[in-house]
Amino acid sequence: MSKLSVSDRGARVAPFIAMDMMREANQLEATGNDIVHMEVGQPSSAPPRQVVEAAKAALDVDRIGYTNALGIPALRERISRHYADAYGLSVPAERVVITTGSSAGFILAFLAAFEPGAQIALPMPGYPAYKNILAALDLGLVPLETSARTRWAPDVDDIRRLAAQPDNAISGLLVASPANPTGTMLSPAVLKEIAQTCEAAGVRFLSDEIYHGLVYGMEQACALSYSDEAVIINSFSKYFCMTGWRIGWMIVPEPLLRPVECLAQSLYISAPTLSQHAALAAFDAVEELEGHKQMYARNREMLLNELPGVGFSEFTPVDGAFYVYADVARFTNDSFEFAGKMLREIGVATTPGADFDAELGHRFIRMSFAGSEDQMHEAVKRLRTWLP
C-alpha cells in the first residue's frame, strides 16, 4: 500500500453523481444496450453551423496560441453588445472576462471575492459542483432549503437573517435562475430584492445565468439591472450548444477585475483560443439556436403532460433550462437506488436528487429533456411499462 498521502481537501469533495451516471450509461451503451440519456445537462444538438465554420476559418488564419488572460478583445466587446441588446444594459467590455467554461468562472469568483473559511449561502436543491468547489477551496457552505412555499426560490427573509448574524455571517450568496435541477426562475421583482438586499448587507451576490435564453413564458432579467456589485457568470454551453468547447464568461465589478486576471493568468493562462474564435460567431446563430429551443419546449410540454400518467405527478416549476425535477416518493425513499435500477432495467438514464440536495434529494430525480423528441417519447414509453 502506498504511504503517500491524500489531502483532506481532495477526500472531502463528493462525487458528481450526474457524471457517474453518465459513465455507467456510456458503459452500458458500449456493450450494446439502447440508452435514453436524460442524466446530463447538455444539449443533444450539435453546435451551430456558423460556430463550426468560424472554428475552421480560425485554424486557417490564426496560430491558436495564448490570448490575454481576460480573453480576445473582439469576443469581450461582442458580449458587451449582447448585454445591451438582450437586457438594455451598458456593460463595459473591460469588465467581461472570458473563462474556461462557467466552472472556471466559479473558481475565479470564489477565489477573488472570498477569504478561506468564508461562508457562502446556496439554495437547495442546487447544482452539486457549487458545493464541491467550495469544499475544494476551503470555503463554507450555508444551505438555504427551498420549498413550494417560496416557489423553490431562496427566501429573502432567510437571506436577511443570515446576513445579520455576526457570529455566522454569510459573505456571499450564489443563486441560479433558471435553476439546476429545478428549472425554476426568479421573477425580476424577486431577483431585484435579493440583489439589493445582498448589496445593502455587504454580501457578495453571484448570479448564475448560464441557462439564460432557455426560458418558457417567464421574463428573464440580469442581476446587473439591480446591482452593479453582482458577479455574473454565464456560458456558451447551454443555449449556444457548446458544452465541450469549454468556453464561458463573467461580468465582474471593477475592484475584482485585476484579482481575477491575476488568478486566471496562473490557473488557466487563457481560455481555449479556438473556442473563443468560435464563440464569437455564436451570437449570429440565433435562428438555428431558437429552433433547438423550440424542440426543448415541445419536449417540456410532452413530459409535463405525460409524466403524471406514469406516476410522476409532482415536480418543481419548469420555467426554464431543460430539466424536470420530479418527486418519486410514491415509488422509493432512495432515489439513488431507483435511478440505478431504472438505468439497468429499462435503459433510461437520470440523475438522483441526492446529487442536488443532501436533505431531501432522496425523494427526487432529475430528468433532462435536452434530447431529441424521439428519445423523450421513448423514455415515457419505457417508464409506462416499468413503473407499478
Spatial CA neighbour of 89 closest among 226, 256, 279: 226
Joined grid coordinates for residue 190 = 424577486
The domain limits of the chain are: 8-47+287-386, 49-284
Mean pLDDT over residues 279-287, rounded? Answer: 97
Residue 1, pLDDT score: 63
The matching CATH number, chosen from 2.60.40.420, 3.20.20.70, 3.60.15.10, 3.40.640.10, for 8-47+287-386 is 3.40.640.10
Q: What per-residue confidence (pLDDT) applies to 13?
A: 80
Same CATH fold assignment for domains 8-47+287-386 and 49-284? yes
Residue 215 has pLDDT above 80, yes or no: yes
Q: Mean per-residue pLDDT for 99-112?
A: 98
The residue type at 240: F
- The residue with cell 447544482 is 127
Report the CATH number of the 49-284 domain: 3.40.640.10
pTM metric for this prediction: 0.94
Q: Of 42 and 73, which is predicted with more confidence?
A: 73
- Give the 3-state secondary structure of residue 326: strand
* Number of residues that this document lists for the chain: 388
Q: What angle do CA 148, 141, 249 make, to 5 degrees?
A: 85
Q: What mean pLDDT do residues 23-50 have?
A: 94
Instruction: Judge if the upstream peptide bond of residue 255 is cis by omega within 30 degrees of 0.
Output: no
Is the model's pLDDT at 368 over the cut of 70? yes
Task: Name the pLDDT band for 7 (thresholds 50, 70, 90).
Answer: confident
Q: Is 12's pLDDT higher than 90?
A: no
Say what the pLDDT of residue 169 is.
84
pLDDT of residue 166: 76
Average of pLDDT values for 170-182? 97
pLDDT of residue 75: 98
- DSSP string computed for 337-385: HHHHHHHHHH-EE-EEGGGT-TTTGGGEEEEE--S-HHHHHHHHHHHHH
∠ CA 318-319-323 to the nearest 5 degrees? 40
Longest CA–CA span in the chain (Å) reads 60
Contacts of 23 (CB under 8 A, 6+ apart): none
Question: Would you state the pLDDT for residue 9?
Answer: 78
Quick one: pLDDT at residue 4?
A: 79
Structure confidence at residue 377 (pLDDT): 98
Our measurement of the distance from residue 281's CA atom to the centroid of its chain's CA atoms, rounded to an integer in Å, reads 22
Confidence of residue 291 (pLDDT cuts 50, 70, 90): very high
Residue 324 pLDDT: 97
